């Protein structure tokens, strides 16, 4: 069975405001092959961007029957799949235990559809870890990672954290570029002389 590693992240500037801008990023690795994807949308939330990052990653896969390892700093995403919240949501007609509609239902349904025929494991990693600085803090983070996810060598953990940081950079790329484009002065048509 082929194994694919996926690192995802989402970001949202102005997350609680009516007008905001979100971005998502993901990295897919298979053997020596690596692909980076990113994008975003306005008027969204951080959670939607976290889910979209994984949707885009899974959508990029051309095969079923894969063993997929997913790393995310979103406990919303990881805990849903690890604890199988979606099974209860489905049984309850896509309602939470408080009888409220499940937020982002259409994204969860898309993720569940894309997950069919795949064997997926989810790992929770702390976001924004500085992988090249204070080793004591990084080793503490490594121990927390092991507590959440099970055994992992320190150097592998450092690499996972670096990939998660890169996914975060990709998630923010859409936001940066969109803001830059919005800030650029609008050009007006310059009148040209015509021969009469």
196 pLDDT more than 60: no
Confidence class for position 123, pLDDT limits 50, 70, 90: very high
Indicate the class that CATH gives domain 3-183: alpha beta
pLDDT tens digit string along 60-95? Answer: 999 999 999 999 999 999 999 999 999 999 999 999
Locate the domains of the chain by residue range: 3-183
In DSSP notation, 134-150 reads -HHHHHHHHHHHHHHH-
* Angle subtended by helix axes 154-183 and 135-149, to nearest 10: 100
- Tell me which long-range contacts 173-182 makes (C-beta under 8 A, separation of at least 24): 173/23, 173/25, 173/38, 174/21, 174/22, 174/23, 174/24, 174/38, 174/39, 174/40, 175/11, 175/13, 175/21, 175/22, 175/23, 175/40, 178/21, 178/40, 178/42, 179/21
Residue 151: per-residue pLDDT: 97
pTM, full prediction: 0.89
pLDDT tens digit string along 128-159? Answer: 888 777 788 899 999 999 999 999 999 999 99
The 10 Å Cβ neighbour count of residue 60 is: 13
CA distance 191 to 194: 9
Structure tokens at 172: 């923010």
Residue 16: per-residue pLDDT: 60
pLDDT tens digit string along 161-178? Answer: 999 999 999 999 999 998
Q: How many CA atoms within 13 Å lie on the side-chain side of 15? A: 10
Strands 119-124 and 21-30, how do they pair? unpaired
Residue 186: per-residue pLDDT: 58
Confidence class for position 3, pLDDT limits 50, 70, 90: very high
Mean pLDDT in residue range 91-107: 95
Angle of CA points 55, 58, 59, to nearest 5°? 80
Residue 15: per-residue pLDDT: 61
Confidence class for position 183, pLDDT limits 50, 70, 90: confident
């Amino acid at each position: 069975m082929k194994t694919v590693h996926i690192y995802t992240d989402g970001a949202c500037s102005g997350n609680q405001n009516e007008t905001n801008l979100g971005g998502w990023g993901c990295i897919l690795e298979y053997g020596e092959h690596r692909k980076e994807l990113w994008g975003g949308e306005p008027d969204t939330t951080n959670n939607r961007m976290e889910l979209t990052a994984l949707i885009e990653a899974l959508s990029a896969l051309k095969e079923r029957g894969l063993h997929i390892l997913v790393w995310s700093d979103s406990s919303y995403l990881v805990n849903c799949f690890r604890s199988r919240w979606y099974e209860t949501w489905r049984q309850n007609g896509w309602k939470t235990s408080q009888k409220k509609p499940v937020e982002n239902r259409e994204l969860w349904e898309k993720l569940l559809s894309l997950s069919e025929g795949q064997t997926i494991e989810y790992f929770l990693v702390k976001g924004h870890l500085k992988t090249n600085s204070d080793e004591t803090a990084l080793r503490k983070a490594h121990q927390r990672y092991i507590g959440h996810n099970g055994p992992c060598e320190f150097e592998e953990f450092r690499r996972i954290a670096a990939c998660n940081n890169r996914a975060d950079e990709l998630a923010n790329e859409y936001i940066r570029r969109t803001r830059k484009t919005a800030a650029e002065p609008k050009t007006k048509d310059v009148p040209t002389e015509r021969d009469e």
